[in-house]
Amino acid sequence: MINIDERKILKNLFSYILLIVLAVVILVPFFIGIWTSFLPTADILKGNYFSTNISLTNYLDAFTKTPILRYLGNTVVVSTLIMLAHLLFCSMSAYAFVFLDFKYKKFFFALFMVTMMLPGEAAIIPNFQTVKALGLLDHYSAMVVPALTSAFGTFMLRQAFLQTPKELKEAADIEGLNHFQIFWKVILPYNRISLITLGAYSFLGAWNSYLWPILVTFSNESRVIQNGLKQLQSEETFNNWGMIQASAAIIVIPTILVLFIGQHYFKSGLNEGAVK
């Protein structure tokens, strides 16, 4: 008996060692990035990671000497607009595909599906010309307008709307509600979890987009954070590693905090979906 216990403890010990080693490997880039963001650049460039000159100077510099707050503000505005637009337009088109009968419905749905197979990266030349012709270059709208709807979002919400219980639709019919009322008062509230999921997905997608914004923005007034870091890194601040690391930390810390807090809800959301 003792023998088995010992073997079990040894096995667990081995598991823990492996778990810890892998955690360290994954977290090393964070540790180094965040630690060096507190050190003076002179020490970093000498490779003196164990310097004791810890300060918040890099953060102050990042906030006062670079437009990072402007970049963050731009990104929040653009991502929020895209998220709201997706929630509205995707749920509307999904509603049409589930609850309305119209000519060529199957054909139009097939079009949506085909759209999901086409990479946006391959459409940059004509889209750039379109946005330029519309006079939207270097404005928020250059990033928002082409991203107002999403075929994937429509598809995802359609799958959710299909699960709406018949009784709910019938009750709405008896009440004599028109389609706008059914859409707004019945279908959207009933599918709020799917809407939250799509909202999070769309916001993150917009937050992380890199190629399109770099093509259509040229000034700090409209530049988003993903391109902004490249700008900082290539401009006057080229070798100011301390400040660049601080900028990266300023961006990543809020997202990770949100993730940790959100993970609890995310998990319970998944469970809820499973019970359904």
Partner 1 sequence: MLKTSTTNVVPEKKVEAKNKTKFRLTANDKYYASIFAGPSLFLLGLFTFYPMFRTLYISMFLTNTFGNTTLFVGLENYVKLVTSPDFVSSMWVTLVYVVGVTFFTIAMGLLLANLASQKLPGIAIFRTLYSVTMGVSVSVAAIFWLFIFNPSAGFFTLLTKLLHLPTVNWLSNPTMAMWAIIITTVWMHLGFVFLVFLGAIESVPTTLYEAADVEGVSKHYQFFHITLPMISPTLFFISTITIIGSFKSFGLIDLITKGGPTNATNMLVYRIYNDAFFGGNYAKSSAEAIILTIIIAFFTYLQFKFLEKKVNY
56-64, 76-84, 105-113, 195-203 -> range binding partner 1 (CB under 8 A)? 105-113
- Residue 183 DSSP code: I
Based on the shown chain and the rule CB under 8 A, indicate whether residue 76 belongs to the binding site for partner 1: no
Smallest gap from Cβ 5 to partner 1, in A, equals 15
Of 126, 133, 165, 219, the one binding partner 1 by CB under 8 A? 126
How many whole angstroms separate alpha carbon 33 and alpha carbon 57?
15
Q: CB burial class (10 A; 0-12, 13-18, 19+) of residue 187?
A: buried
State which of positions 144-203 bind partner 1 (CB under 8 A).
146, 148-149, 151, 154, 170, 173-174, 176, 178-179, 183
Q: What length is written for the chain? A: 276
How many whole angstroms separate alpha carbon 215 and alpha carbon 143?
10
State which of positions 134-153 bind partner 1 (CB under 8 A).
146, 148-149, 151
Of 4, 64, 121, 133, the one binding partner 1 by CB under 8 A? 121
Query: Where is 88: in which H helix or E strand?
Result: helix 68-99
Size of interface with partner 1, in residues (CB under 8 A): 91
Based on the shown chain and the rule CB under 8 A, indicate whether residue 44 belongs to the binding site for partner 1: yes
55-63, 76-84, 189-197, 257-265 -> range binding partner 1 (CB under 8 A)? 257-265
Query: Where is 247: in which H helix or E strand?
Result: helix 241-275
Phi/psi at 149 (nearest 5 deg)?
-130, 170
